[in-house]
Structure 1
Amino acid sequence: MSAKTSAITVPMRGALALIDAALAQGIPLDALLEQAAIDPSLLDMPRARLSLKQFSRLYASIVGTLDDEAVGLLGYPLRNGSVETFCRIGSTTTTFGDCLQVIARGCNAVMGDFKVDCVSGGGEIQIRFRERAGDPVRSTLAYEIILLAIYAVMSWLVGQRLPLVCAAFPCAPPRHRLDLRALLAGAVRFHQPCGALRFPEQAGALHIVRNADEIPRFIRRAPASFIEAVLVGDLLAADVRRVVQQALPSLLSLPDVAERLAMSPRTLHRKLEAGGTSFQKIKDGLRRDMALHFLTRGSTPLKQIATSLGFSDQSTFQRAFVQWTGVSPGEYRRLTQPQRQ
C-alpha cells in the first residue's frame, strides 16, 4: 500500500467559495459536481477535503464554461490563456526582480480595471493591484484568485516557494483564512489599502529556472500545479515530506530528518520557519493527505491505514482524523464511496 507525495488535498471551504461563484454565474450545481466527481454530501462538511484532481476538475469546469480564468469575479472575463501569457513573459527574464516587473506590465494589459505596478523601497519589492475606480469593490475570492495565481506562477518560475513579507488583501478575511495562510510563505493581512504581494528585497536576485518548454504541462495541470508550486515548491519542505513518508510506519523526529538531510536540527527548524512552515505541520499534513488518499481510493481496513501512518492504534488515528476533517474516517469513506463505484 502506498500513496504518492503529490496526494495533496484541498480544504472544502475553498472549493465552496468557487462553487458559490459558479452558481452566481448560472452554472447548474448538479452538472458541476458531476464533472468534478464531488459527492454532494461533502458540501455540508466544511472541514472535508478534496483531492487535487477533484479541485482541478471543479475549477477547469467553471473556467471552460465561462471562458474566464477569474470565474466571473472581475466583472469582465480573464480569457483562457491569460495565466499562460504571464508564465511565458516571466520565463524570458533572468531574475525574479525582472520577472516581477514584466508580470506587472502583463497584468496591466489584461486586467483593465486594475492599475498594477511594481515598486521597491524599505528593504522590499512588491507588486500592487489597485482598482482604478478607487475603493476596492472586488470580493475576497477575486483577490485570492489574483494574488494566489500570480504567487504560484512566480514561485514556479524560480523553482521554489517565494518568501513573502506579507500578502495584502483590501477586504475582510474569509472564513477559510487559516487555509489561505497555509498557501502563502509569509504574513497575510486584510483591510489593506490595496492588494499586494510584498517580498524581501534580496528575493529579487533569485534566478528564473523554468523555460518555455515546461509551460504547457504546468498550465495543463492547473490549478493542481499552482497548489503544488506553493505547497511543495519549497524544495526543503518537499524533501522533509519525502523523508518522513519513506520512513513510515516509523515516525521520524526532527533530529532524525535533519540527520538524513545532512544538517543540524536547529538549521532545519530555522529554514522551515523561514519558509512559513514547521516540521510538525509537514508531518501532520502528510499523514492527513495519505489517510484521505487511502480512504477515497480503496477498501483498506482502517486498522491497516492507522498502522501504515505510524499511529499506535486505530482509535488514536480516528481521533486525529476527526480533528482534521470533523468526521470519523468511516463516515468519510461512506460519503466518498460513490466516487469509487
Structure 2
Amino acid sequence: MHVKSNVITVPVRGALALIDAAKAQGIAPEQLLSRAGIDCSLLNIPRARLSLKQFSRLYTCIIDTLEDEGLGLFDYPVRPGAIETLCRAGVTTSTFGECAQVIARGCNALLGGLKVDCITENGEIQIRFRERLRDHEKGLLVYEIVLLTIYAVMSWLAGQKLPLMSADFPCPPPRHQLELRTLLAATARFHQPCGALRFPAQTSTIHIIRNVHEIPRFIRRAPASFIEALLVGDSLASDVRRVLQQALPTLLSLPQVAEQLAVSPRTLHRKLEVGGTSFQQIKDILRYDMALHFLARESTPLKQIATSLGFSDQSTFQRAFAQWTGLSPGEYRKRTQQQTAG
C-alpha cells in the first residue's frame, strides 16, 4: 500500500482547544464538527487523534466563521490575511536576523494586546511578547498559538526547522508540555516574565530561501503547513520516524535505527529524551498515524493494515488500536465514514 511520506495526526486536545475558543465566541460546535468531518464522540476519547486534514478543516471553519485568525482570543480580531502579510514581509529579507526584526514589527501591528519586540542580548536573538495591559492577562492557548505559529512561519521561510534555545510562556505548565517540547524541539519554560522565542546568535546568518510565489500554497494549507514545518524536517525525531516508516512492515529496533543514523544507541536515546520524546513514542505515533490513514480507505482490509504496520496478526493490531483510542479499528472506520457521508 502506498503511504504519504509525512502522514501526521493531531491529538484531540488540539481540536478541543479550538472548539472551546469558538464556543466562547457564541459558536455552536456541532456544525463546525460536521463541516470538518469529525464525529463528536471522538472528542470524548482522551487519547484519540484526528487526521491533519480534519484538524485543518476545523481550524479553517472557525476562522471563516469568526473572520478572525486569532480565534477571538485577542483584544480585537486578527483579520484573515494577517499571517500571509507576515510571510510576504518575511520573503523580502535575506537572512533570519533581518527576518526576525520584520516579523516582530508585523506582529506588533497585528496582535492586539501584545507588544512585540526583537532584541539581541547575551549572545541570543529574542522575539518577546508582552502584555500591554496587565489586567487583561492572556491564557496559555494565546501563547501556544502565537509562539508556534510565528516559529512555524519563520522556519518555513528559512526552509528548515530553526534551532531554538527555548520558548518561554508566562503561564503555568500544562499537562501536554511534552507535546510542546516535541513541536519546538527545545525547552519550554513556564512562569516566565513574558512570552518569547529565544534563538542562538548564529541563526542570524541563516538565509531566507522562500519566495513570494510559494506563499499562497503555504497559507492555503494552513494549519497543516504550519504543523509540517515544525514536525517534518531535518530534526532527529523526524529522521527516526522516516527510517522506521521506510522499513515497514519490518519493525526496526532502536539499535538498528541508530546504526542507520550513524549514532550510538545511547546517544539516540539521550537526544530523543532531551527533545521531549522517545523511540517507543515515535514508533507508536507513526503506526497510529498510518493506521488512521489506511482506515480512511474503505477498501483496505484490517488484516492488510495490520501486516503493513508490522503487527503479527489482526487481533494484535486491534488491541493496540483500542489502547490508543478506546475504539476498535472497525468502529473507528465506521464513525469516520458515517461523519464523512453526513
Counterpart residue number, 1:193: 193
User: Is residue 158 of structure 2 the alignment partner of residue 158 of structure 1?
Assistant: yes
Distance 2:146 2:307 in 1: 41
- What is the rounded CA distance, in whole Å, between the counterparts of 1:97 and 1:266 in structure 2? 36
The answer to whether the 8 Å contact 1:136/1:170 transfers is: no
Cα distance change of structure 1 residues 178 and 298 upon mapping to structure 2, 3 Å threshold: farther
Q: State the alpha-carbon separation in 1 of the partners of residues 210 and 277 from structure 2.
A: 25
Q: 1:60 is matched with which residue?
A: 60
1:115 is matched with: 115
Measure how far apart 1:47 and its partner are: 1.5
Cα offsets for 1:104-127 (capped at 9, x unmatched): 111111124211111222332211
In the other structure, the counterpart of 1:171 is 171
Q: TM-score, normalised by structure 1?
A: 0.90
- Determine helix, strand or coil for the equivalent of 1:17: helix
Give the secondary-structure state (helix, strand or coil) at the position aligned to 2:134: coil
Matches within 5 A, 1:71-90: 71-90=71-90
User: 2:223 maps to which residue?
Assistant: 223
Cα shift readout 1:293-333 (whole Å, capped 9, x = no counterpart): 11233253333222111122334333433443344434433
Which residue in 1 is equivalent to 2:318?
A: 318
- Provide structure 1 residue ranges, at least 5 long, that are not aligned to the other structure: none
> Equivalent residue of 1:310, what SS?
coil
- Tell me, what secondary structure is at the counterpart of 1:252? coil
Q: How many angstroms does 1:179 deviate by? A: 2.6
Paired letter, 1:86? L
Counterpart in 1 of 2:10?
Answer: 10
For residue 127 of structure 1, what is the aligned residue in structure 2?
Answer: 127
Deviates more, 1:77-86 or 1:267-276: 267-276
Mapping of residues 241-252 of structure 1, within 5 Å: 241-252=241-252
Q: For the residues of structure 2 that align with 1:210 and 1:17, how far apart are their CA atoms? A: 31
Could you tell me which residue of structure 1 aligns to residue 204 of structure 2? 204
CA shift, 1:215, in A, is 0.7
**Separation in 1, partners of 2:168, 2:246:** 37
AA in 2 matched with 1:95: T
**Cα distance in 1 between the residues matched to 2:122 and 2:115:** 22
> Could you say what the CA RMSD is over the residues aligned between the two structures, in angstroms?
2.4
Residue identity (%): 70
1:143 correspondence with 2:175: no
CA distance in 2, matches of 1:108, 1:148: 16
Q: Which moved more, 1:183-192 or 1:291-300?
A: 291-300
- Is 1:105 matched with 2:105? yes
Q: Deviations over 1:215-260 (max 9, x none)?
A: 1100010000000000113366545433332321112345544555
Partners of 2:337 and 2:124 lie apart in 1 by: 49
Distance 1:179 1:319, change over 3 A: farther
1:74 positional shift: 0.6
Cα distance in 2 for partners of 1:19, 1:220 equals 21
Contact 2:181-2:275 at 8 Å conserved across structures? no
- AA aligned opposite 2:109: A
- SS of the aligned residue for 1:163 comes to coil
* CA deviation after TM superposition for structure 1 residue 205, in Å: 2.3
The amino acid that maps onto 2:307 is T
The separation in 2 between residues aligned to 1:2 and 1:33, in whole angstroms, is: 29
Cα distance, 1:319–1:120 mapped onto 2, change above 3 Å: farther
Which ranges of structure 2 fall in alignment gaps of 5 or more residues?
Answer: none
Which amino acid letter does the alignment assign opposite residue 17 of structure 1?
Answer: A
Q: Could you tell me which amino acid in structure 2 is paired with residue 53 of structure 1?
A: K
Q: Deviation of residue 69 (structure 1)?
A: 0.3
> Residues 37 and 154 of structure 1: is their aligned pair in 2 closer, same or farther, counting only changes over 3 Å?
same
Mean Cα deviation higher: 330-339 or 116-125: 330-339
1:281 Cα deviation (Å)? 4.0
- The Cα of 1:274 is off from its aligned counterpart by 7.3
Across the two proteins, how many residue pairs are aligned to each other?
A: 340
Q: TM-score, normalized by length of structure 2? A: 0.90
Structure 2 CA distance for partners of 1:185 and 1:296, relative to 1, 3 Å: same
Q: Which stretch of the first structure deviates more once superposed, 168-177 or 17-26?
A: 168-177
Segment drifting more, 12-21 vs 115-124:
115-124
- Hey, what does 1:337 align to over in structure 2? 337
Aligned 8 A contact 1:241 1:283 in 2: yes
Cα distance in 2 between the residues matched to 1:329 and 1:274: 33
SS at the partner of 1:207?
A: coil
Between the aligned partners of 1:170 and 1:67, the Cα distance in structure 2 is 27
Separation (CA, whole Å) in 2 of partners of 1:121 and 1:281: 36
User: Could you list the per-position Cα deviations for residues 59-92 of structure 1 after superposition, in whole angstroms to 9, with x for gaps in the alignment?
Assistant: 1111111111011001210011111111111111
